[in-house]
Amino acid sequence: MITRREVLSGLAATPLLGVGSKIAIAQTYPERPVRIIVPFAAGGSLDGAPRIVSQNINTRTGWPIVIENRVGGGGQVGTLAGKQAAPDGYTLTAINGVSHGSALALRKDPGYDPVNDFAPIVLLAAAPLVLLVRSDIGVKSLGEFVAYLKNNAGKLNYGSGGVGTQHHLAVAMLFDQTKLPKDIAVHVPYQGLALAINDLISGNVQFMISSVGPAWQHVAAGKLTALAVTSPKRIAQLPNLPTMAEVGLKDFEMLAWSGLAAPVGTAPEIIRRWNAEANISLKDEGVKKQLANFDYETYGGSPDDFRQFIIQEQKRYLNLGMSTGLLSQK
């Protein structure tokens, strides 16, 4: 059975699809603007990757591309709109680790099938999360932190960018894999990651699992201590910080990611052409630099690679929802 780690490795290494004879679609495509539905607000990381890549494609090819931010329901509203769009190549959806990952840990039926209702195009980028604790707690390793939690059951608060976000579910995964009760600390959800980090700095919460970029200045200043990253391998900007697997949690992997998909039934020629253009953009150094501002590493690869990645995400989050008791039957 293919593992998620192997899928990620394959995505990073897959060669670009050819543009010549492999693309049978008429040269007149697109004849009108292509809409990309982003199920989250403009300006955030889940909006950043599709916007940056589509702007690069527009600059290179002249394709008219419109980003439509369809916000609501934790990503459900926009994702459903993408599912229901005509499969004609003129509506794509920016799918991500929330819509096609963490939502599955909370709702048995989010209104769409992440695998069968969408035609995957490409995994654009992915970013790790990092376990952060206030430095005044005095722990220096994951083992010390778990022991501290056990000795202070019910006394600590942890923040997240909201119920069901990957920041929330990453802590649930941490408790599950370290055999800690789910109420050993109190979850304090915020309307966005920035507010959660502010309260971590002020001391209203004592720990969280966060995106790297927004918090790193506070780690450098000594206010926060980083204990481990959630990616399959160490990240280049933090080479001395171990992965969760390296500190003993062998099955702990969680990435914030962003990709493109079309409604199921979209012509394979259109899927291949979008995949080829996106892969070209992801090799662009300017695009890489812009994505790095969101902590993203570029991926790319084939539509089938991306499909396998989504399947692995679906299994991971469904298992997490069941094992932690978070999964609703609705």
- Per-residue burial over 181-197, b = 16 or more CB atoms within 10 Å of its CB, e = otherwise: eeebbebbbbeebeebb
Q: What's the sign of the alpha-carbon dihedral 262, 267, 271, 274? A: negative
Is a pLDDT exceeding 50 seen at residue 17? no
How much is the pLDDT for 11? 52
pLDDT single digits (tens) 191-210? 888 889 999 999 999 999 99
pLDDT single digits (tens) 39-95? 988 888 889 999 999 999 999 999 999 999 998 888 899 999 999 999 999 999 999
The residue assigned the tokens 């926009």 is: 78
Locate the domains of the chain by residue range.
Answer: 4-127+255-324, 128-229
pLDDT single digits (tens) 108-161? 888 999 999 999 999 999 999 999 999 999 999 999 999 999 999 999 999 998
pLDDT single digits (tens) 231-256? 988 887 788 899 999 999 988 999 99
- For 106, the token pair is 């909370």
- For 217, the token pair is 């200045």
How far apart CA 227 and CA 144 sit, in angstroms, is: 10
How far apart CA 17 and CA 33 sit, in angstroms, is: 23
pLDDT single digits (tens) 253-286? 999 999 999 999 999 999 999 999 999 999 999 9
Q: Which CATH number fits domain 128-229: 3.40.190.10, 1.10.150.120, 3.40.50.970, 1.10.1060.10?
A: 3.40.190.10
Q: Under a CB-based contact definition with an 8 Å cutoff, are residues 29 and 270 in contact? A: yes
How much is the pLDDT for 81? 97
Q: Which CATH number fits domain 4-127+255-324: 3.40.1350.10, 1.10.3720.10, 3.40.50.410, 3.40.190.150?
A: 3.40.190.150
- For 258, the token pair is 């962003």
